[in-house]
């Protein structure tokens, strides 16, 4: 299965990863090879087979709805690229 | 020489006061300084932390509060968050990330008193089978510097093989403990999914990721697995049940053990020298009282495509957290929010990581979800059921870990799918969440080969028992590359 430039652009947007114009050909070539591998699955009859999401058939554990974490924003924001007044800085979103 | 002692011997000397943890730790730090420049197995070495922890271990050894592993140094894969230490996952994205907390595994092994020598190199975000995709360059195989150490826990396997640490942590999503253990001639076990807490392990594919020990012998791995696994409520998939004593069965006889040998694991593509090593090893286990039965894993070939849909799909979701806002790499002068995301991620991730995120996002996208993602989940169940059916006829399954011994650096980097297909024996085990172990079993073309032992859920103690009994009558696990012995 071969994918073209427009599909690479679509996938780039889905994945939020910039693909430069001069990389498109290489990216589409390698992605096509991986998708070829996926095509092998289509030949298999899976009628009646329940999808398996997880190795164990157990119920999701729940916990009591109470605060267990203390405020550590100073420690956690130390690794942020840009902060001000305890907030994360991003480019302007609303004009 | 201190570094050629077993962990058991080190522990005895520490407890007898013949050596101190500071001496032992300094010895390893000296070896790292001498040999790591050529191997590139460590991303970060932490001498101050190591010696501080060694001093604390020595106090415990003196005041009688020391355990079996107290004072034994350890190297953590750079995927385990380590408070105050750079935790990069071998990615440019996290090159500036100083973890603000410890992974649960790190907490437990600190509690056990194991000084941290440093963080080991790996494939970027654990996505690879050769440790070549690291932002910090490839790790070399101590047995042959032209060969890869395997991956993704390649640095961890290399530091054990080269005696740059006596014990190391690894993680295994599609074979990342077992395949490097095989390539470097050491012991490694991936426990049953849910045994070890994933809290603080940088996520790749959450329904497959599992951490485990890497060491020279099965006995040592059993001790370490005991120390690193317990229920942890911070990992929603960590199993609540009581953990077995993984060392309890080490000395049991193998009399009556039923070993399943799947024909599909000895088919086309298997290197004849690897095949001979594996068959000889199984024959050795038969001499210990085991019998073999032929079993069938008819859907083996479906595992690789299924995994390479599901793991990237999970990765595309897990790695969406790298947005250039809260931590990690941020591009210069973003013009808007989307530009910030797209350029930060394009600059911060390497080629293979980008490929898997893109493939995963595509497999989950409208119009492809049923054909790719759900289809792959159905195949996952078929592969899982093959194993549960086989385990009705046998206690464990044995075969090769990988079709070849370690390949050369650069040999498979141009064609991602050829690298993927090298995982064909390990991936099925992750799909089913089963425990799997690699133990040194010989050499092919001068490079180590591991025997793959897989059991039903919660059979770790049995696997380690088999490993330990095999290691009582063989010395493959004691062999070391000459220049590092």
Q: How confident is the model at residue A3 (pLDDT cuts 50, 70, 90)?
A: confident
Q: Which of B11, B21, B77, B462 is catalytic?
A: B77
The pLDDT of residue B421: 87
Active site annotation includes B412: no
- Residue A52 confidence (pLDDT) above 80: yes
B 254-283 residues with CB < 8 A to A: none
The shortest CB-CB distance from A53 to any of B362, B377, B382 is to B377
Interface contact A63, partner B, CB < 8 A = yes
- Chain B environment of A93 (Cβ under 8 Å): 336-337
Question: Is B462 one of the catalytic residues?
Answer: no
Q: What is the CATH number of the domain that holds A16?
A: 1.10.20
Taking only the tens of pLDDT, chain B with its 485 residues reads 899 999 999 999 999 999 999 999 999 999 999 999 999 999 999 999 999 999 999 999 999 999 999 999 999 999 999 999 999 999 999 999 999 999 999 999 999 999 999 999 999 999 999 999 999 999 999 999 999 999 999 999 999 999 999 999 999 999 999 999 999 999 999 999 999 999 999 999 999 999 999 999 999 999 999 999 999 999 999 999 999 999 999 999 999 999 999 999 998 899 999 999 999 999 999 999 999 999 999 999 999 999 999 999 999 999 999 999 999 999 999 999 999 999 999 999 999 999 999 999 999 998 999 999 999 999 999 999 999 999 999 999 999 999 999 999 999 988 888 888 889 999 999 999 999 999 999 999 999 999 999 999 999 999 999 999 999 999 999 999 999 99
Distance (Å) from the alpha carbon of B96 to chain A's nearest alpha carbon: 8
Q: Is residue A55 part of a domain?
A: no
ipTM of the complex: 0.95
- How many domains are there within chain B? 1
Q: Does B330 touch chain A (CB under 8 A)?
A: yes
Quote the CA–CA distance of B214 and B390 in Å, as a whole number. Answer: 27
Residue B260 dihedral angles phi and psi, to the nearest 5°:
-85, 130
In the structure, what pLDDT confidence band is assigned to residue A94 with cuts at 50, 70 and 90?
A: confident
Question: What number of C-beta contacts closer than 8 Å exist between A and B?
Answer: 165
pLDDT score for B366: 87
B129 is catalytic: no
Residues of A in contact with B346 (CB under 8 A): 17-20
| A22 lies in some domain | yes
Reported confidence tier of residue A68, pLDDT bands at 50, 70, 90:
confident
pLDDT at position B290, please?
98
For residue B367, tell me if it sits in a domain. no
Residues of B in contact with A24 (CB under 8 A): none
Whether the per-residue pLDDT at A61 is higher than 90: the answer is no
Rounded distance between C-alpha atoms, residue B48 and residue B46, angstroms: 6
Beta-carbon contacts of B223 under 8 Å, excluding residues fewer than 6 positions away, are: B7, B68, B69, B247
State how far the alpha carbon of B68 is from the alpha carbons of A75, B24, B61, B220, B249, in Å: 34, 15, 10, 10, 17
Contact between B358 and A14 using a beta-carbon 8 Å cutoff: yes
Nearest to B308 by CA among B237, B385, B372: B372
Q: Which long-range contacts (CB under 8 A, 24 or more apart) does A4-12 make?
A: A4/A28, A11/B358, A11/B361, A11/B362, A12/B342, A12/B358
B141 preceded by a cis bond (ω within 30 of 0): no
Q: Quick check: is B358 in a domain?
A: no
Question: What's the CA gap between B458 and B33, in Å, rounded?
Answer: 39
The pLDDT value recorded for residue B364 is 94
- Give me the pLDDT at residue B268, please: 85
Structure-token pair, residue B350: 């390497």
Query: What SS3 state is found at A64?
Result: coil
| CA–CA min distance A49, chain B (Å) | 6
Q: Read off the pLDDT band of A63 (50, 70, 90).
A: confident
* Domain enclosing residue A21, as ranges: 5-43
Q: Report yes or no on A79 lying in a domain.
A: no
Cα gap B187→B157, rounded to integer Å? 9
What does the radius of gyration of chain A's CA atoms come to, in whole angstroms? 22
Residue A18 included in any domain: yes
Determine which of A11, A15, A74 to mutate to test the interface with B (most B C-beta atoms within 10 Å).
Answer: A15
Domain holding B14, by residue range, is 2-257+394-484
CA of A48 vs chain B CAs: smallest distance (Å)? 9
In a domain, B146, yes or no: yes
**Would B262 be classed as within a structural domain?**
no
Radius of gyration over alpha carbons of chain B, in Å? 21
Query: Can you give the CATH number for the domain in which B462 is found?
Result: 3.90.1300.10
Supply B25's token pair: 């730790």
- Selecting among B129, B152, B221, B438, the annotated active-site residue is B152
B437: tokens are: 């172990």
Flag whether A89 is in a domain: no
B390 Cβ neighbours under 8 A, 6+ residues apart:
B260, B262, B295, B296, B297, B397
Residue B85 lies in a domain: yes
Domain annotation covers residue A57: no
pLDDT tens readout for residues B110-156? 999 999 999 999 999 999 999 999 999 999 999 999 999 999 999 99
**Interface list for B 380-439 with A (CB within 8 A):** 380-382, 384, 415-417, 420, 431-434
Count up the domains in chain A and report the number. Answer: 1
Sign of CA dihedral B108, B129, B430, B184: negative
Instruction: For residue A4, give the 3-state DSSP assignment.
Output: coil
């Amino acid at each position: 299965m071969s994918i073209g430039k427009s599909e690479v652009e679509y996938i780039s947007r889905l994945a939020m990863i910039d693909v430069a114009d001069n990389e498109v050909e290489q990216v589409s070539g390698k992605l096509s090879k991986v998708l070829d591998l996926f095509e092998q699955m289509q030949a298999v009859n899976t009628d009646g087979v329940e999808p398996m999401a997880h190795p164990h058939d157990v119920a999701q554990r729940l916990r009591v709805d109470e605060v267990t974490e203390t405020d550590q924003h100073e420690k956690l924001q130390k690794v942020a690229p840009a902060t001000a007044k305890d907030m994360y800085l991003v480019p302007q979103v609303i004009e | 020489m201190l570094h050629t002692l077993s962990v058991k011997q080190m522990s005895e000397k520490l407890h007898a006061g013949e050596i101190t943890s500071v001496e032992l730790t300094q010895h390893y730090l000296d070896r790292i300084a001498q040999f790591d420049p050529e191997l590139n197995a460590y991303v970060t070495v932490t001498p101050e932390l190591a010696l501080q922890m060694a001093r604390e271990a020595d106090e415990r050894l003196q005041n009688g509060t020391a355990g079996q592993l107290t004072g034994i140094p350890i190297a953590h894969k750079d995927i385990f968050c380590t408070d105050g230490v750079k935790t990069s996952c071998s990615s440019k994205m996290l090159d500036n990330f100083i973890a603000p907390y410890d992974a649960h595994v790190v907490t437990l092994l600190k509690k056990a008193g194991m000084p941290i020598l440093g963080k080991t190199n790996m494939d970027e975000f654990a996505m690879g089978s050769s440790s070549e995709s690291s932002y910090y360059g490839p790790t070399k195989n101590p047995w042959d510097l032209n060969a890869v150490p395997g991956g993704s826990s390649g640095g961890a396997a290399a530091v054990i093989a080269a005696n740059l640490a006596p014990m190391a942590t690894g993680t295994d999503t599609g074979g990342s403990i077992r395949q490097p253990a095989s390539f470097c001639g050491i012991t490694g076990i991936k426990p049953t999914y849910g045994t070890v807490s994933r809290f603080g392990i940088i996520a790749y594919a959450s329904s497959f990721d599992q951490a485990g020990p890497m060491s020279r012998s099965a006995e040592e791995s059993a001790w370490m697995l005991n120390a690193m696994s317990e229920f942890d409520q911070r990992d929603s998939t960590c199993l609540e049940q009581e953990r077995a004593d993984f060392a309890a069965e080490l000395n049991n006889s193998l009399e009556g053990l039923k070993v399943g040998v799947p024909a599909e694991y000895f088919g086309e593509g298997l290197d004849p020298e690897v095949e001979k090593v594996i068959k000889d090893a199984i024959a050795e286990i038969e001499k210990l009282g085991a019998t073999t039965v032929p079993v069938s894993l008819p859907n083996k070939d479906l595992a690789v495509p299924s995994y390479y849909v599901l793991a990237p799909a999970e990765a595309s979701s897990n790695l969406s957290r790298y947005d250039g806002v809260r931590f990690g790499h941020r591009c210069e002068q973003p013009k808007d929010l989307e530009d910030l995301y797209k350029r930060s991620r394009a600059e911060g991730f390497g080629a293979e990581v980008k490929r898997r995120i893109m493939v995963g996002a595509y497999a989950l996208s409208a119009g492809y979800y049923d054909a790719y993602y759900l289809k792959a989940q159905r195949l996952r169940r078929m592969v899982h059921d093959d194993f549960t059916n086989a385990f009705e006829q046998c206690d464990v399954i044995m075969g090769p870990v990988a079709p070849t011994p370690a390949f050369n650096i650069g040999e498979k980097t141009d064609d991602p799918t050829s690298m993927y297909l090298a995982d064909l024996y390990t991936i099925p085990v992750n799909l089913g969440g089963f425990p799997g172990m690699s133990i040194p079993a010989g050499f092919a073309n001068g490079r180590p080969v591991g025997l793959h032992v897989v059991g039903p859920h919660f059979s770790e103690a049995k696997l380690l028992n088999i490993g330990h009994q095999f290691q009582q009558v063989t010395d493959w696990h004691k062999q070391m590359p000459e220049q590092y012995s």
